[in-house]
Amino acid sequence: MKRLLVAVIAVIFSLGIVSSGLAAGLEKCEKCHKGDKAPDKMIANAKIGTAADLMKALKEGPKKGMHKSLTDDDITGAAATLGLK
């Protein structure tokens, strides 16, 4: 019984960590990008299909100055959350 309880607690803890990590993927984006400028709408309008496309758009695009505080890990996390490969 104790082993089952420990296993259930471990699974719940793991799911909590995974879900908080996914939410953090867009946390920095959503500080500025809301409504029509939400990240999912922006990538659809800009026809961004891969994580590499997103990285290039944010690092080299016309708004690169606005995104210079984002790390590669931030962008990769956002791409994963948005379902970009």
Show contacts of 38-41: CB within 8 Å, 24+ apart: 39/78, 39/82, 40/82
Q: How high is the mean pLDDT of the chain?
A: 85
pLDDT digits over 15-52, tens only? 565 544 444 579 899 999 999 999 999 999 999 999 99
Record the tokens describing residue 43, joined without a space. 């990538």
- Note the pTM of the prediction, 2 decimals: 0.70
Distance between CA atoms of 39 and 32, rounded to whole angstroms? 10
Residue 63 has pLDDT above 50, yes or no: yes
Distance between CA atoms of 51 and 82, rounded to whole angstroms? 9
- Where do the domains of the chain lie? 2-81
